[in-house]
């Protein structure tokens, strides 16, 4: 009798195939996941199963995915202490950093003469030449303020954390934009990536393409009797049209359509992209054309995903290590109970037995009469020591393979923190991981804010006055720094004039010093730096040079001529 083996599937989720329930798609109809539905595209089955499995580890529910040979007692007694949770939250904290701000790219403005309130060119009092200065990009400043206000109203940072948690944990995050007529602004919402279905097969996407059809779909049970199961599908698709001019003043030959409907699950016998309109039991939004030429859905893969399309969770290929740690923790709990109540060896005597012919176990205060015999306590603590060493070894392996330093996992005591250089070196693999994750976000959040600005322009044409500007989300620092070591280094470099004041302040900010604005901090420092102000006067023979350094208004020309002959000038300054 020959046994037919299952064909091996090689894809980005192959690292989960060691799980029997994941590998055998037919078994997914069980209680661990309820995934096998006719409307879910066949190619998406493994992705959705992977999400369920990864979420189970995050929520300490991975015992549901143990092999079929495991009985209920083994699943019930399985110890899960949140190691997957710590990894996900640590990576998330490093990804978003200690601060998150939107930044609109400023254009380099051409230098131009300074003018007064009446529009007259301001001249230098000594040379009578026009004072030339580089103006700020007022449009960028204004647009930045508009986006910051929108972020506050939309609670964007909270939603961003929710979406990024999905991306780090499951491998993918999904934003959906829509215009709210009542609030008068674009709304942003976060969706479970398991409800996200892009039609990637229709056009055989290349790395640069985005699918022209995208669905958000999920099942729910109705409230009315009899309780029926329904499928809600929100779909966006691009259609070719005659060339038209968008609200943001660009021409396009495509337009986005949208629909939002509900179908009975029993009436659905095709994939999510092919539901028949006439079978819908209710239209929340009938098919309608939107005044945009893009699909307002932004997919955030956790790591670089070109050909694979979907991202990879930080838990990735380390789930077997987590399984080993759970098994070790389970054994430690059982062994600790044994060490707390060690077995007794009775020799030369006997103990009474109960009605079942068994010797009762003992507890505090219990006395045994053994006659001439002896009772010896068996030492089982060595087994516990061995398991604790194994647990430490597994934790170290987890730190290495997940590229998460032990100091971030809380395994290094504050008194044992290494020097700044050693600590920085230990963060090198983790830094590489976070930089890759941020590289993906740099592209995706630029697209997200571009969509937001264009949707604003649809309802508020004044937004177009700012022009087409690139905006992006900037994450703060995540690397630990030795503030004392950095400050000493800055003092040394400044005293030898090896770095500029701007660079020095940038180093202090990177090491964790709370400095909000570099230019304002420079102005405050110079306003009391009388030594360098006097040096500026000595170097230029111009008292106004010192006043300019201190941020003071220049003296009138006649006063400067008088002070050049007055030996007390510098003392008065």
Q: For the segment 253-273, what is each residue's pLDDT rounded down to a tens digit?
A: 999 999 999 999 988 888 899
Structure tokens, 414 = 């504050």
452 pLDDT more than 80: yes
- Is 23 a domain residue? yes
**Cα–Cα dist 131/217, whole Å:** 62
User: Can you give the pLDDT at residue 241?
Assistant: 93
Residue corresponding to tokens 């491998």 = 171
User: Can you give the pLDDT at residue 512?
Assistant: 67
Contacts of 104 (CB under 8 A, 6+ apart): 140, 141, 143, 144, 147, 469, 470, 471
The 10s digit of each residue's pLDDT in 535-556 is 777 777 777 776 776 667 676 6
Distances (CA, A) of 128 to 74, 263, 357, 554: 89, 78, 114, 14
What is the pLDDT averaged over residues 96-105?
89
Binned at pLDDT 50, 70 and 90, residue 30 comes out as: very low
Residue 265: closest CA among 215, 227, 234, 214: 227
CB 361 within 8 A of CB 343: no
CB 535 within 8 A of CB 106: no
User: Can you give the pLDDT at residue 337?
Assistant: 78
Return the bridge partners of 221, or none. Answer: 229
225 pLDDT more than 50: yes
Structure tokens, 525 = 């420092």
CA 542 to chain centre: 53
**Cα–Cα dist 219/89, whole Å:** 29
What is the pLDDT averaged over residues 326-351?
77
The more confident residue out of 481 and 180 is: 180
What is the tally of structural domains in the chain? 1
Structure tokens, 549 = 């350094």
- Is 245 a domain residue? no
What is the pLDDT averaged over residues 157-161?
97
- Most confident option among 39-53, 60-74, 228-242: 228-242
- Is 50 a domain residue? yes
**Cα–Cα dist 148/156, whole Å:** 9
CB 257 within 8 A of CB 290: yes
Helix (H, G, I), strand (E, B) or coil at 144: helix
User: Can you give the pLDDT at residue 350?
Assistant: 66
**Cα–Cα dist 366/546, whole Å:** 90
Helix (H, G, I), strand (E, B) or coil at 227: coil
411 pLDDT more than 90: no
Residue 482's φ and ψ, nearest 5 degrees, are: -85, 100
- Rg (C-alpha) for the chain, rounded Å, is 34
User: Can you give the pLDDT at residue 193?
Assistant: 96
**Cα–Cα dist 329/97, whole Å:** 32
Binned at pLDDT 50, 70 and 90, residue 35 comes out as: very low
- Is 369 a domain residue? no
- Is 33 a domain residue? yes
Order of all β-strands in the sheet with 196-198: 196-198, 213-221, 229-245, 251-264, 282-290
Neighbouring CB atoms inside 10 A of 163's CB total 21
CB 508 within 8 A of CB 515: yes
Residue corresponding to tokens 């990637």 = 200
Residue corresponding to tokens 């991975």 = 62
170 pLDDT more than 70: yes
| Alpha-carbon torsion, ordered 510, 514, 516, 520, to 10 deg | -100
What is the pLDDT averaged over residues 44-62?
92
Give this prediction's pTM. 0.77
**Cα–Cα dist 43/391, whole Å:** 38
What residues make up the domain containing 72?
14-78
**Cα–Cα dist 505/524, whole Å:** 12
- Is 73 a domain residue? yes
Residue corresponding to tokens 């044992």 = 416
**Cα–Cα dist 21/49, whole Å:** 10
Mean pLDDT of the chain: 81
- Most confident option among 66-75, 141-150, 478-487, 553-562: 141-150
* Residues 32-49: b if buried by 16+ CB within 10 A, e if exposed: bbebebebbbeebebbbb
Structure tokens, 74 = 């083994």
**Alpha helical stretches, state H, 371-482:** 381-402, 420-426, 428-459
**Cα–Cα dist 205/309, whole Å:** 9
What is the pLDDT averaged over residues 366-373?
65
Return the bridge partners of 132, or none. Answer: 113
**Cα–Cα dist 255/38, whole Å:** 30
- Is 29 a domain residue? yes
Structure tokens, 66 = 């143990």
Residue 31: closest CA among 65, 60, 1, 55: 65
User: Can you give the pLDDT at residue 383?
Assistant: 81
- Is 31 a domain residue? yes
Strands 282-290 and 132-133: unpaired
């Amino acid at each position: 009798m020959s046994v037919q083996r299952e064909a091996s599937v090689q894809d980005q989720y192959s690292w989960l195939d060691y799980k029997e329930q994941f590998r055998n798609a037919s078994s997914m109809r069980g209680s661990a996941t309820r995934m096998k539905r006719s409307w879910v595209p066949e190619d998406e089955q493994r992705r959705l199963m992977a999400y369920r499995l990864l979420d189970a580890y995050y929520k300490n529910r991975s015992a549901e995915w143990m092999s079929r040979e495991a009985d209920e007692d083994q699943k019930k007694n399985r110890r899960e202490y949140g190691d997957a949770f710590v990894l996900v939250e640590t990576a998330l904290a490093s990804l978003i950093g200690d601060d998150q701000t939107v930044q609109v790219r400023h254009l380099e403005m051409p230098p131009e003469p300074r003018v007064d309130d009446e529009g007259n060119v301001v001249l230098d009092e000594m040379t009578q030449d026009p004072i030339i200065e580089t103006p700020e990009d007022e449009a960028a400043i204004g647009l930045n303020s508009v986006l910051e206000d929108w972020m506050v109203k939309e609670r964007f940072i909270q939603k961003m954390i929710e979406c990024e948690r999905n991306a780090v944990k499951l491998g993918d995050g999904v934003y959906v934009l829509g215009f709210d007529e009542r609030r008068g602004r674009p709304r942003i919402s976060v969706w479970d990536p398991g409800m996200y279905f892009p039609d990637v097969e229709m056009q055989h996407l290349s790395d640069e393409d985005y699918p022209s059809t995208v669905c958000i779909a999920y099942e729910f049970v109705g409230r009315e009797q009899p309780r029926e199961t329904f499928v809600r599908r929100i779909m966006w698709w691009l259609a070719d049209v005659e060339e038209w001019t968008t609200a943001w003043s660009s021409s396009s030959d495509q337009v986005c359509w949208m629909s939002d409907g509900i179908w009975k699950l029993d009436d659905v016998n095709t994939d999510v992209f092919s539901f028949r309109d006439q079978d819908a039991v209710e239209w929340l939004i009938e098919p309608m054309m939107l005044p945009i030429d893009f699909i307002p859905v932004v997919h955030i893969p956790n790591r670089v995903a070109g050909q694979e399309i979907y991202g990879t969770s930080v838990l990735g290929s380390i789930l077997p290590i987590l399984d080993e740690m759970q098994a070790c923790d389970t054994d430690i709990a059982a062994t600790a109970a044994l060490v707390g109540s060690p077995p007794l060896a009775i020799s030369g005597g006997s103990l009474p037995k109960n009605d079942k012919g068994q010797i009762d176990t003992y507890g505090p205060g219990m006395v045994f009469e053994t006659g001439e015999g002896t009772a010896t306590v068996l030492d089982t603590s060595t087994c516990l020591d061995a398991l604790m060493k194994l647990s430490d070894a597994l934790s170290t392996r987890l730190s290495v393979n997940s590229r998460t330093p032990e100091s971030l996992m809380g395994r290094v005591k504050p008194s044992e923190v290494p020097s700044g250089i050693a600590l920085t070196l230990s963060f090198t693999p983790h830094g590489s991981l976070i930089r890759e994750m941020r590289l993906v976000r740099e592209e995706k959040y630029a697209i997200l804010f571009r969509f937001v600005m264009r949707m604003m322009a649809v309802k508020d044409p004044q937004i177009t006055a700012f022009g087409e500007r690139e905006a992006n989300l900037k994450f703060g620092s995540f690397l630990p720094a030795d503030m004392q070591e950095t400050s000493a280094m800055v003092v040394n470099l400044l005293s030898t004039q090896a770095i500029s004041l701007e660079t020095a302040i940038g180093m202090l900010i990177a090491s964790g010093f709370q400095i909000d604005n570099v230019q304002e901090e420079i102005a405050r420092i110079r306003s009391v730096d009388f030594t360098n102000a006097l040096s500026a006067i000595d170097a230029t023979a111009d008292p106004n040079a010192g006043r300019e350094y201190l941020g003071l208004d220049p003296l009138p020309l006649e006063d400067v001529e008088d002070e050049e002959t007055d030996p007390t000038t510098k003392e008065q300054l």
